[in-house]
Amino acid sequence: MKRETRRLLKKFFSNFSACLGFVLLVFFFIVAVGAPYIAPPKSARDPYMMPIVTWSSNPLPPSPEHPFGVAGKRDIFYGVVWGTRTAFRIGIIVTVVSTLIGLAVGSIAGYFGKLVDEILMRITDIFMAIPFLVAAIVLATILGAGLDKVIIALIVFSWMYSARLVRGNILQVKEEQFVMAARALGVSDFMIILRHVLPNSIFPVLIQASMRMGSLVITAAALSFLGIGAPQGYADWGALLNYARNWMMGSQGEALRYWYMTVFPGVAMVLFVLAWNLVGDALRDVFDPRLRM
Amino acid sequence: MSSAVILKVENLKKYFPIRAGVFRKVIAWVKAVDGVSFEVLGGESLGIVGESGCGKSTLGMTILRLYEPTEGKIFFNGQEISGLPFARLRPIRKDMQMIFQDPFSSLNPRMSIGAIIEEGMAVHGMYSPRERSSKVQEILERVGLSGNYARRYPHEFSGGQRQRIGIARAIALCPRLIIADEAVSSLDVSIRSQILNLMSELKEEYNLTYLFISHDLAVVKQICDRVLVMYLGKIVEIAGKKDLFSRPLHPYTVALVSAVPVPDPDYKVDRIILKGDVPSPINPPSGCRFHPRCPVVQDICREVEPSLREIQEGRWVACHFPGSLGLKRTKEVGVEC
Amino acid sequence: MLQKNLLEVRDLRVYFYSDEKRELKAVDGVSFSVGKGETLALVGESGCGKSVTSMAILRLVDSKGKITGGEVIFDGQNLLLLPESRMREIRGKDIAMIFQEPASALNPVYTIGEQILEAIMLHQKLSPSRAKEVALEMLRLVGIPEPEKRLNEYPHELSGGMKQRAMIAMALSCRPQLLIADEPTTSLDVTIQAQILELIRELQKKLGMALILITHDLGIVADMAERVVVMYAGKVVEEGNRFEIFKNPFHPYTVGLLRSIPRLDVERKKLDTIPGVVPEPSSFPVGCRFRGRCNFETGECVQEPPRTSLSNTHAVYCHHWEKVRDSNAEVLKECRAQ
């Protein structure tokens, strides 16, 4: 397997956009891990709460003291740095949990078929028919504000995509003769799913998950922007944009006066999404079975 | 050669539903296997031939209960297995194995060769783990591969080698019956003979019984003792291979044998070109299913379905006028010189 | 003899380039000729280059491959030197092709009629109503029942045999001088195969066209071909008329192939085998490419085997063809003695 792994790695890193995506991800990861050193918290309080640096609610442009400027009385630089952690946290938790749910639902539906499939897929359809953002807003409102509530809302409304993909893949793999062969050997259903079906249908799911990681962060930001996400002052890119809401139009004759309020958190978000998409794209190329051998 | 009946199939039917509409209502049935009865003796190899859509593959899958039979009974070693729950079927599966057609899709690409061959032994609790891995080596060498291939993955092998691996997986369980579904059809000519010889050798060594499903009559003739011919879900003829290929009795068998091109420019045969295509198994013709294409059709054939009857010792034909269409060729079946 | 050849392929080379930029010599110095109205079979196992050769005649080698040398003389002109526009006129009009998978060679979103009409209108200036007549005539010619109805049907409504008939109708609609049939019956059942082969034979007689039949099935070759070219690993190993190839093969590969196939007409206790596997283009041996699988191999075989002409039609590429001939005679004697 070592040779195989090396071959895949070589293929991955021979692709420019894959390298770019990977480098971006590493950069964000370093920022997230090194947040306490890059932007040391001012007090011993919760470091995720952006400290209040000024008493005026007017935004302040970038200065040596506040390199990205000040918005909503808080330092944008601090928010962007610590917001990286939030982005990773939301992305990873939601993606992992929703993918696991999707895997379970999809494999059961796909492998057993018939009535089980029918019921599970109709439930999936119902969830997919609900407008995501509206439903997430309603759910988050019912559950109350807070990052954990946002995460729950996102999970509830995003597992269906992997469930569908898994089911489709399994239906395809199920027809392969090696699954028949395993049944002829007398292997149990559970082991067939675990050893034969899933390993052959999981890569598309992982690739989709890595792509979704980016878009989830946007959605979470949208919720924060609407004020239902993270609590006041929580380090989060969406929340930073929320502060910019009243200032976005600029001032008379100077449309771009408060550019720093949107550009810094915005660029962070765009790069973050881009990184995951590039990596996902490259993974798809690497694992595409048609391109093997 | 032991001549006890190892497999007995009685009036076996397998219908597949065709569903349509919002409520997925069944609108028709594909009668893939439609009332098939025969016996297989221990130690023999029985060939099942027929063209695509005749139900030969479905028959193999249904015997192994990879498909659930719609109707009919299957006896293996005297025990009825058609109604057996899966838990009780598992120990029997060890004795009935399958070799598949496609050497590329029949091996899990993410499992090593060793793991593929070992899996069945592990499921049935055969040997200790250490014994198993030495067993894997032994079997790999037996099918003509190197023992240290166990750690490699399927995509590193050619079609012929993969088919050897598929055979190794089947014989690892020391089965009594092997159902080979088009096992050599996708292989190159020079590789095909290697695999056919290997299968013949293994049959002697392990005292196997083969159910050899194939569309290729020459291959079936090479490896089988008896041949069963299917057409549209039914058996039309069963005979010893010598009889079947030298003097086929059912008009369909005659047409089939005459249609096979022979690699000898001196060989001439009155080729019987059948008109039209095989009808759909959803709505098979009335009476004898072969009647719309039969060159010697009579009125009775359109109305009355002929039953499969034994007209000579060991020769079964489902035709109202067996032998009415003869096979004319320049050269009789003989020894090669 | 030379004057009458419709197609002459000389020293054709088609190389493919792998991802690692390695040169794969899929077709390496192949020469043969086809006379007017003649049937030539190109025989070999997968990867021997028979299909690539036929695609190269039409200059339809895919983007990873390149025709790196040789000449393809058709009707007195070298096709490899013609401009692409002229080549497009020749494809379909003078040289037509039918493929193994009729299902994937027909476009599923157009009716049979539309596809045949397209083939006709591409090369002939006919009024639409006249073209439709030609299409109907073609469908009738290939024995498709109710041609008026079939014209408006889509490929999925036809059976495999009917699709192959429709493909043939399309290919022959411009009355080509040469038809290249690449495994035309491999995906069909035996009885349907017999129908299609009979049809091709009939049409060939009727239209007087030459046929290059590409196949791995030696039975079909014995049945259809006048002359045979046996290919192995990108090279021709033996060529001759069908009696020479089937009765007096002198290349160890041809001999091995003929002895290893199960046959309907003779009893064989055990099949002879050719040891080893068909090599990949990346690992073709130097010199004689059959090295490593051959019983007659000696040190000499690392040299490229010379072409030995045995008759007007029969030629073999082997250092040891005389030994093969002697061993054939011995086998025959032994067999007769029994």
pLDDT in tens, B122-150: 988 888 888 998 999 999 999 988 888 88
Q: Identify whether B69 is part of a domain.
A: yes
pLDDT for A11 beyond 80? no
Task: Report the number of distinct structural domains present in chain B.
Answer: 2
Inter-chain residue contact C278 with B335, CB threshold 8 Å: no
**Torsion angle of alpha carbons A190, A117, B14, A179, nearest 10°?**
-30
Confidence of residue B1 (pLDDT cuts 50, 70, 90): very low
pLDDT tens for each residue of C254-274: 999 999 998 888 887 788 888
Q: Identify whether A19 is part of a domain.
A: no
* CA C186/CA C209 separation, integer angstroms: 22
Q: Identify whether A7 is part of a domain.
A: no
CB B35 within 8 A of CB B13: yes
Q: Identify whether B336 is part of a domain.
A: no
Of B287, B336, B170, nearest to C336 by C-alpha is: B336
Domain final residue pick, B133, B148, B173: B173
Average pLDDT over residues A255-271: 81
Enclosing domain of residue A138? 32-291
Confidence of residue A291 (pLDDT cuts 50, 70, 90): very low
Inter-chain residue contact C189 with B161, CB threshold 8 Å: no
Confidence of residue A44 (pLDDT cuts 50, 70, 90): low
Six token digits for residue C123:
């090369």
pLDDT for A59 beyond 80? no
Q: Which of A1, A176, A186 sits opposite B93 (nearest CB)?
A: A186
Of B131, B123, B135, nearest to B172 by C-alpha is: B135
CB B49 within 8 A of CB B220: yes
Q: At what angle do helices A76-112 and A114-129 cross, to 10 degrees?
A: 150
Between the two ends of chain A, the Cα-to-Cα distance in Å is 14
Percent of chain C with pLDDT over 90: 42
Same domain, B42 and B158: no
For an interface test with B, which of A185, A202, A290 has the most B Cβ atoms less than 10 Å from its Cβ? A185
pLDDT value of position B14: 94
* CA C163/CA C150 separation, integer angstroms: 11
Question: If you average pLDDT over every residue of chain A, what do you get?
Answer: 81
Average pLDDT over residues C301-330: 92
Six token digits for residue B210:
């083969």
Interface of B with A (CB under 8 A): 61, 64, 66, 89-91, 93-94, 96-98, 100-102, 105-111, 119-120, 123-124, 153, 155, 166, 169, 173
Inter-chain residue contact B119 with A185, CB threshold 8 Å: yes
Six token digits for residue C62:
């895919």
- Give DSSP secondary structure letters for A58-125: S-B---SSSTT-EETTEEHHHHHHHHHHHHHHHHHHHHHHHHHHHHHHHHHHHHH-HHHHHHHHHHHH
Average pLDDT over residues A135-147: 78
pLDDT value of position B188: 86
pLDDT value of position A157: 83
- Give DSSP secondary structure letters for C8-52: EEEEEEEEEE-TT--EEEEEEEEEEEEETT-EEEEE--TTSSHHH
pLDDT value of position A2: 59
Percent of chain B with pLDDT over 70: 97
Question: If you average pLDDT over every residue of chain C, what do you get?
Answer: 88
Same domain, B168 and B184: no
Of A97, A95, A123, nearest to A108 by C-alpha is: A123
> CA dist B5 to A11, B82, B99, B209, Å?
56, 16, 21, 11
Bigger pLDDT: C289 or A78?
A: C289
pTM assigned to the model: 0.81
Bigger pLDDT: B227 or A9?
A: B227
Contacts of A173 in chain B (CB under 8 A): none
Q: Please, what's the b/e burial string for A63-82 (b: 16 or more CB within 10 A of its CB; e: otherwise)?
A: eeebebbbbbbbbbbbbbbb
CB B314 within 8 A of CB B240: yes
* CA A78/CA A67 separation, integer angstroms: 9
Q: Identify whether A76 is part of a domain.
A: yes
Same domain, B164 and B183: no
CB A139 within 8 A of CB A203: no
Contact status of C249 with chain B (Cβ, < 8 Å): no
- Which residue in this structure is represented by tokens 């009780």? B88
User: Closest approach of chain C CAs to the CA of B215, in angstroms?
Assistant: 8
Enclosing domain of residue B9? 5-95+175-331
Same domain, B145 and B294: no
pLDDT value of position B210: 95
Bigger pLDDT: B65 or A233?
A: B65
Same domain, B68 and B212: yes
Q: Which 161-180 residues of chain B touch chain C by CB within 8 A?
A: 161
Report helix, strand and coil shares of chain B as percent, to nearest 5: 35, 25, 40
pLDDT value of position B336: 60
pLDDT for C1 beyond 70? no
Same domain, B146 and B228: no
Selection from A263-277, B65-79, C262-276 with the highest mean pLDDT: B65-79
Q: Identify whether B78 is part of a domain.
A: yes
pLDDT for C38 beyond 80? yes
DSSP, collapsed to helix, strand or coil, labels residue C184 as coil
Inter-chain residue contact A293 with B124, CB threshold 8 Å: no
* CA C330/CA C324 separation, integer angstroms: 10
Q: Which of C220, C247, C262 sits opposite B219 (nearest CB)?
A: C262
Selection from A126-135, A274-283, B249-258 with the highest mean pLDDT: B249-258
pLDDT value of position C33: 93
**Torsion angle of alpha carbons A279, A280, A281, A287, nearest 10°?**
110
* CA B322/CA B244 separation, integer angstroms: 12
Inter-chain residue contact B190 with C258, CB threshold 8 Å: no
* CA B165/CA C317 separation, integer angstroms: 35
Average pLDDT over residues A242-249: 75
Residues found in chain C: 338
Q: Which helix (H) or strand (E) holds A273?
A: helix A259-287
The ipTM is: 0.85
Selection from A146-155, A282-291, B206-215 with the highest mean pLDDT: B206-215
pLDDT value of position A80: 85
Residues found in chain A: 293
Which range, of A50-54, A184-188, C49-53, C95-99, averages the lowest pLDDT? A50-54
Inter-chain residue contact A176 with B105, CB threshold 8 Å: yes
CB atoms within 10 A of CB C255: 22
Q: Which 231-260 residues of chain B touch chain C by CB within 8 A?
A: 245, 255-260
Q: Which 251-270 residues of chain C touch chain B by CB within 8 A?
A: 256-258, 260-268, 270
- If you measure CA to CA, which chain B residue comes closest to A173? B105
Domain final residue pick, B173, B196, B225: B173
pLDDT for C2 beyond 50? no
CB atoms within 10 A of CB C269: 7
User: Closest approach of chain C CAs to the CA of B51, in angstroms?
Assistant: 6
DSSP, collapsed to helix, strand or coil, labels residue B328 as coil
- If you measure CA to CA, which chain B residue comes closest to A201? B110
pLDDT value of position A141: 78
Q: Which of B51, B194, B196 sits opposite C191 (nearest CB)?
A: B51
pLDDT for B172 beyond 50? yes
Which range, of A156-165, A240-249, B273-282, C33-42, averages the lowest pLDDT? A240-249
Percent of chain B with pLDDT over 90: 58
Between the two ends of chain B, the Cα-to-Cα distance in Å is 30
Same domain, B90 and B125: no
Q: Identify whether A22 is part of a domain.
A: no
Of C183, C148, C237, C142, nearest to C55 by C-alpha is: C183
CB B222 within 8 A of CB C271: yes
Six token digits for residue B250:
């059912």
Q: Identify whether A12 is part of a domain.
A: no
What CATH number does residue A84 fall under?
1.10.3720.10
Q: Which of B94, B100, B110 sits opposite A180 (nearest CB)?
A: B100
Contact status of C332 with chain B (Cβ, < 8 Å): yes
pLDDT for A62 beyond 80? no
* CA B137/CA B144 separation, integer angstroms: 11
Confidence of residue C187 (pLDDT cuts 50, 70, 90): confident
Furthest-apart CA atoms within chain B: distance in Å = 67
Same domain, B70 and B134: no
Q: Which helix (H) or strand (E) holds B205?
A: helix B189-206
Q: Identify whether B55 is part of a domain.
A: yes
Average pLDDT over residues A143-170: 84
pLDDT value of position A116: 86
pLDDT for A200 beyond 50? yes
Task: Report the number of distinct structural domains present in chain A.
Answer: 1
Domain final residue pick, B173, B206, B227: B173
Q: Which residues fall within 8 angstroms of residue B182, CB to CB, at 6 or more apart?
A: B57, B101, B213, B214, B215
Establish, for the pair of chains B and C, how many residue pairs have beta carbons separated by less than 8 Å: 147
